[in-house]
Amino acid sequence: MSDSHSPSRSAPVSTQAVSGQVRLVRVPEDRAGQRLDNFLLGQLKGAPKSLIYKIVRSGQVRVNGGRAKAETRLEGGDEVRIPPVRLAEPGEKAAPPRGLLDAMAASIVFEDARLLAINKPSGLASHGGSGISFGAIETLRALRPRETLELVHRLDRDTSGLLIVAKKRSALSELQALMRENDADEGRGIEKRYLTLLTGRMPDGTMTVDAPLHIGLRQGGERHVQVNAHGKASLSHFKALERRGGHSYCEVRIETGRTHQIRVHAQHIGHPVAGDDKYGDPAVNKRLREHIGLKRLFLHAASLDFALDGGRVPYALHAPLAPELFNALGRLS
């Protein structure tokens, strides 16, 4: 069927069309469930995320005539009002540096027709914004300018490991639905396993942490997450793999995907993640930095297991432990 009559499925809008007038865009059925901010990023190619949030917060963006939040899930047939904005002309925005492009190309650990997975290095944000010019997704898009690439989920900037990017809209929709199953505590979505070094000696076996998490803001707008009865349900399972130097090398399986979940749950049980400068122990972090050269958060997204096509096509993705973590662990005796 031709989609020539669907205004939101046309080619990315030009700067002139965007900057000159308000547009009313009808959400196609295959975009149902997409967040408003991600829909706008697709419509306003090249717009920084900070600008997207600004026009949403100010009420310039409307969904079916009413104000909406950035995280609002759209429905097929919704009418989105997109205000005129000023975007950079083609060629104004610098490309990611060659070193970053090469590193991103080397970080790809899996690819097929509908998705690719990278082993994201620590220190690289999942996406740009808030003073960050290039995140993983912007760099991938610069590396593959002819492909449509969309982030399926995010990792903290300081966390390394598996990050999935969808190459097809159908894969993005199905993967995001699986993510929502996790967050709804239905247990059928995506199995996520991390590797981490927790400070102190964890008990034998698996420790399950069922503690709701609430996101608050500190002075200056910094996000800070804490265990709070009014927060969202959050479930993590910590399993000690081995003990080194009085600390515990662990595998963590999470059933929900809350912001900073592993880091806050680890702090909650008295064994914060090594190298965590937000929720960790500064004195222990200093000793580990001096003794084994650990200069970053010891948290790595190691594996993701899920199935697409209604459960018929299984995926088991793995990303090897980052070299700096592997080396630090080797020096810990």
Domain finish residue from 22, 57, 82? 82
93 in a structural domain: no
| Residue 89 pLDDT | 55
Q: Are 225 and 78 in the same domain? A: no
| Residue 15 pLDDT | 34
| Residue 317 pLDDT | 97
Out of 3, 30, 156, 158, pick the active-site residue.
156
Q: Are 156 and 305 in the same domain? A: no
Angle at 296 between CA 265 and CA 256, to 5 degrees: 30
Domain finish residue from 171, 189, 221? 171
Q: How far apart are CA 161 and CA 121, in angstroms?
A: 7
Q: Is there a catalytic annotation at residue 156?
A: yes
Q: How far apart are CA 300 and CA 159, in angstroms?
A: 6
Q: Are 276 and 138 in the same domain? A: no
Q: Are 280 and 317 in the same domain? A: yes
Q: Are 125 and 65 in the same domain? A: no
- The count of other CB atoms within 10 Å of the CB of residue 277 is 10
Residue (of 108, 128, 105, 130) closest to 117 by Cα position = 108
304 in a structural domain: yes
272 in a structural domain: yes
| Residue 221 pLDDT | 63
Q: Are 314 and 224 in the same domain? A: yes
| Residue 97 pLDDT | 86
- Full residue range of the structural domain in which residue 103 is found: 98-171
Q: Are 304 and 189 in the same domain? A: yes
SS3 content of the chain, % helix, strand, coil (to 5): 25, 30, 45
Report the number of distinct structural domains present in the chain. Answer: 3
| Residue 19 pLDDT | 42
CATH of the domain at 154: 3.30.2350.10
Task: Say which amino acid occupies 76.
Answer: G
pLDDT in tens, the chain (333 residues): 433 333 333 333 333 334 458 899 999 988 888 999 999 988 887 788 888 998 999 999 999 999 999 999 999 999 999 998 876 555 445 678 888 999 999 999 999 999 999 999 999 999 876 556 788 999 999 999 999 999 999 999 999 999 999 999 999 999 999 988 766 555 468 999 999 999 999 999 999 999 999 998 765 667 789 999 999 999 999 999 999 999 999 999 999 889 999 999 999 999 999 999 999 999 999 999 999 999 999 999 999 999 999 889 999 999 999 999 999 999 997
Q: How far apart are CA 255 and CA 193, in angstroms?
A: 9
Strands (E), 169-291: 191-198, 206-210, 213-217, 223-227, 235-244, 247-254
Domain finish residue from 171, 196, 228? 171
Alpha helices in the chain, H assignment, sequence order: 15-20, 36-43, 49-57, 98-107, 136-143, 169-183, 261-268, 282-292, 323-331
Q: Are 322 and 182 in the same domain? A: yes
Q: How far apart are CA 25 and CA 46, in angstroms?
A: 18
87 in a structural domain: no
